[in-house]
């Protein structure tokens, strides 16, 4: 494979093992939140972006945030999921430092092959993609964590449809964007 | 920090650790999955789902935990899911992995995070309009597949394991 080099990439675990352990973690977390918080919480990430956006907007336009129906519905506060998302950053940092796979990277290789070395171009792509993806995730009421992992584990009908749409659209867009890249 | 915050933080640290160890935080892995060249992301996700669904089914039927389905709001899930996929393909991260990618030094994820915060703010502005349109088209409510199909959850779980097992064997045979 062109894009990976095992010997320079620390000590990865089998994705089957790491994934199965996430399954165990999700079960334990559902149990622990039920016992200690009185409400079953499932893993998810995208609602935190709404709350974080609300917290930032409050600094400049507190009244506007207070009047917004969606911010009121999702409650702009630092909650369980907010700390969960902060934890992801810390956990990934620890794991990558411990096995030597931490790398500073401004432009990823597949992107460079297609769009060149420009950090500005990558920033525009990442930002623009982020705007569209988060708007979509909030409309669908979940992302690959909330729908993809948690919804699927609960056998939610919405999760099967959402995950199919995520991947279907992703495959179509990736094929279109990177069609000139050599495999 | 309340117990809620401690639980969230500890769970997040473990989740981030496992995401990193499975190497699913990478832009390369996410895009390679969408290009159908490397199925690391799917191996990871489907393994997590297959294991998780057994525990969730057992604990919820025993009345220990509660299920919390996201609404099957057809227009919203189809349109939102499609938009998410388009953005995901360009950004190369999803919300959870963007934060983890930053943790392992891939600092271009910062632009993705900034974009997603902007997207969330825009959604909050558009919400009243969306509520009157897309979100009101066809809402089937919070439904699970067992009720929708009228079959036992365990039958679906056995079928899921069989399909995923076959898929994994195929991935390995093809070197994906």
**pLDDT truncated to tens, each residue of chain B (176 aa)?**
899 999 999 999 999 999 999 999 999 999 999 999 999 999 999 999 999 999 999 999 999 999 999 999 999 999 999 999 999 999 999 999 999 999 999 999 999 999 999 999 999 999 999 999 999 999 999 999 999 999 999 999 999 999 999 999 999 999 99
Contact A144, A153 (CB under 8 A): no
A101 CB contacts (<8 Å, ≥6 apart)? A9, A10, A11, A12, A95, B20, B23, B104
Identify the CA nearest to B30 among candidates A182, A24, A166.
A166
A144 three-class SS: helix
Q: State how far residue B152 is from chain A, nearest Cα, in angstroms.
A: 11
pLDDT at A182: 65
Residue A171: both structure tokens together: 């495959």
Q: Residues 101 to 120 of A: which have CB under 8 A from any B CB?
A: 101-111, 119
pLDDT value of position A77: 95
A82-96, A167-181, B64-78, B101-115: least confident range: A167-181
How many Cβ atoms sit within 10 Å of the Cβ of residue B56?
27
**Contact between B88 and A165 (Cβ < 8 Å):** no
The overall average pLDDT reported for chain A is 94
Q: Of B12, B36, B173, B51, whose CA–CA distance to A16 is shortest?
A: B51
- Residue ranges in chain A assigned as alpha helix (H): 15-37, 46-67, 69-74, 80-98, 109-115, 119-140, 152-153, 157-177
Task: Report whether A105 contacts B87 (CB < 8 A).
Answer: no
How far, in Å, CA of B118 to CA of B150, rounded? Answer: 41
- Decide if the complex's ipTM is over 0.90: yes
How many other C-beta atoms can be found within 10 angstroms of the C-beta atom of residue A128? Answer: 18
Confidence bin at A1 (pLDDT 50/70/90)? very low
Helix spans in chain B (H): 3-21, 27-34, 40-61, 74-91, 95-103, 109-132, 134-137, 145-149, 153-174
Average pLDDT of the residues in A101-111:
96
Cβ separation of B127 and A96 shorter than 8 Å?
Answer: no
State residue A181's pLDDT score.
74
- Assess A15–B contact: CB distance below 8 Å, yes or no: yes
- By Cβ distance, the residue of B21, B90, B142 closest to A13 is B21
User: Of B105, B25, B98, which Cα lies nearest the Cα of A104?
Assistant: B105
Percent of chain A with pLDDT over 90: 92
Nearest CB to B115 within list A92, A96, A127: A127
pLDDT at res. A6: 47
The mean per-residue pLDDT over the stretch A66-70 comes to: 96
Report the gap between the CA of B173 and the closest CA in chain A (Å).
Answer: 15
Mean per-residue pLDDT for A69-83? Answer: 96
pLDDT band at A179 (very low <50, low <70, confident <90, very high): confident
Which residues of chain A neighbour B116 with C-beta distances below 8 Å? 46, 49, 130-131, 133-134
The distance from CA B167 to its chain's CA centroid, rounded to whole angstroms, is 19
Q: Give the contacts of A47 (CB within 8 A, at least 6 positions apart).
A: A74, A81, A146
Furthest CA-CA distance within chain A: 54
Average pLDDT for residues A12-37, to the nearest whole number?
98
Residue A142 has pLDDT above 70, yes or no: yes
Q: Report if pTM > 0.90.
A: yes
């Amino acid at each position: 494979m062109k894009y990976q080099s095992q010997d320079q990439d620390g000590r990865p675990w089998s994705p089957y093992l790491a994934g199965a352990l996430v399954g165990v973690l999700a079960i334990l977390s559902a149990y622990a939140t039920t016992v200690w918080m009185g409400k079953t919480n499932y893993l998810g990430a995208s609602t935190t972006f709404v709350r974080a956006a609300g917290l930032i907007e409050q600094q400049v336009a507190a009244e506007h945030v207070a009047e917004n129906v969606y911010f009121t519905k999702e409650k702009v506060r630092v909650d369980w999921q907010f700390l969960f998302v902060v934890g992801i950053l810390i956990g990934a940092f620890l794991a990558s430092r411990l096995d030597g796979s931490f790398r500073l990277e401004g432009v990823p290789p597949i992107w460079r092959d297609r769009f060149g070395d420009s950090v500005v171009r990558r920033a525009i792509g990442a930002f623009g993609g982020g705007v569209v993806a988060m708007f979509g995730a909030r409309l669908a009421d979940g992302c690959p964590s909330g729908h993809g992992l948690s919804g699927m584990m609960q056998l939610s009908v919405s999760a099967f449809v959402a995950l199919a749409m995520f991947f279907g659209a992703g495959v179509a867009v990736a094929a279109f964007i990177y069609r000139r890249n050599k495999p | 920090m309340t117990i809620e915050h401690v639980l969230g933080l500890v769970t997040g640290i473990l989740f981030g650790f496992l995401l990193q160890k499975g190497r699913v935080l990478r832009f390369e892995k996410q895009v390679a999955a969408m290009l159908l060249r490397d199925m690391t992301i799917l191996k990871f996700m489907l393994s997590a789902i297959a294991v998780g669904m057994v525990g969730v089914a057992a604990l919820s039927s025993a009345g220990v935990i509660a299920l919390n389905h996201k609404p099957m709001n057809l227009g919203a899930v189809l349109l939102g899911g499609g938009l998410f996929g388009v953005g995901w393909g360009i950004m190369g991260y999803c919300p959870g992995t963007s934060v983890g990618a930053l943790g392992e030094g891939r600092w271009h994820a910062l632009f993705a995070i900034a974009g997603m915060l902007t997207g969330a703010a825009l959604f909050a502005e558009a919400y009243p309009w969306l509520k009157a349109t897309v979100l009101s088209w066809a809402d089937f409510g919070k439904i699970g597949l067992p009720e929708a199909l009228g079959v036992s959850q365990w039958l679906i779980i056995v079928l899921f394991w069989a399909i995923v097992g076959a898929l994994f064997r195929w991935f390995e045979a093809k070197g994906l």
